[in-house]
Structures are given as C-alpha cells and as structure tokens.
Amino acid sequence: MKRTRIVVSIMTLLLFVGCASQQERAEQRAQIRQAVEEAVASRHFRIDINTMNTLRYGARTVTPDFFLELRGDTLRSYLPYLGQVHQAPFFSPSVGLNFNAPVLRLIQSRPKTNRSRFDIDVKSQEDTYHYSIDLFDSGEAYIRVNPQHRDPVSFDGAMTLP
C-alpha cells in the first residue's frame, strides 16, 4: 500500500514538472518571437552564420565569427565566399563578401505567418549583390546571396537576440 502511494506521488510530481517545463518553453518561444518581431520592425538585426551552402563545393560549417547585419539603410556583410568568380575586380581589397554598404533597394514582406523576408540590393567596390533573407519567428535565418559576377551562395544562421 505504501509503495503504491509512493509510486503515485512520484508519477504526479513528474507530471507537474513536465507541465511546468512545457509552459516555460512556451513562454521562452513567445519572448523570442517578440524580440524577432521588434528587430524586423526596426530593421536592425544581426545574424550569426553557422553553415554555408555553395554551388560547386557543397555545404560547409563555418567558424562562429561570420555575420550579416542590417542597420536601417546600411548592410554590413562579413561572410565567407567559396565559389567561382566570373569577372574578378581589379585589385580586389577583400576576400569573401566583406563590406559595409548602403542599401540601394529593400523590400520587406511576410510570405508566411512564421517568416519575414527581406530582399536587399547593395553595391560594393567589387560587385553588385542581391541578398534574400528569411527570418523565422524562432530566430533562425536563411540567407541567399546572388552576386552579379560570382556563383550564388547561401547561409544558415541564427539571429542574435538580446
């Protein structure tokens, strides 16, 4: 009889602990969603890159110091590049997609309920780029970069949240 009470007590305790952790996870997801919505509305966010997907060389894991940052009307790109350059600039000062440039065109949309999309055109000293950024409410991000004179490349990452 005592063993049955102990087992029932332990099962009840585990049930309450499980419910509490589900509630905490739901609250945490709501906080993340709110932070992402605020960043999208202000057009001020930073995405830390985890992996890159190249046209010719497949997927690669990258070091955690690469990022893409949008600050209103300025795009700051510090991304690796692995691919073929079709028309190399004369005396290229940088390696990769490393520049800080004003946004020429920005179109913001919400194609699905859990995702925001930014289509951004920028021009650096080396090339003209079209960035397509998908930001999910979970803070995850997917970036596609289509340069004018290079192979396209894409990146997976996560938004840096406060």
Q: Report domain extents, the chain.
A: 36-159
pLDDT number for residue 127: 86
CATH class of the structural domain 36-159: mainly beta
Mean pLDDT of 40-67: 89
Residue with tokens 């192979």: 151
**CB neighbours of residue 147 within 10 Å:** 21
Reported pTM: 0.81
Q: Model confidence at 54, in pLDDT bands (50, 70, 90)?
A: confident
DSSP for 54-109, written as a single string? ETTTEEEE--TT-EEEEETTEEEEEE---S-BSSPPTT---SSEEEEEEEEEEEEE
Work out the mean pLDDT of the chain and round it to a whole number.
Answer: 84
Do the Cβ atoms of 51 and 58 come closer than 8 Å?
no
Percent of the chain with pLDDT over 70: 82
Q: What is the pLDDT of residues 116-153, one digit of tens each?
A: 999 999 998 888 999 999 999 999 999 999 999 888 99
Residue with tokens 């709110």: 34
Q: What is the largest CA-CA distance in the chain?
A: 86
Do the Cβ atoms of 135 and 159 come closer than 8 Å?
yes
Q: What is the pLDDT of residues 90-103, one digit of tens each?
A: 655 556 788 899 99
Residue 12 dihedral angles phi and psi, to the nearest 5°: -65, -45
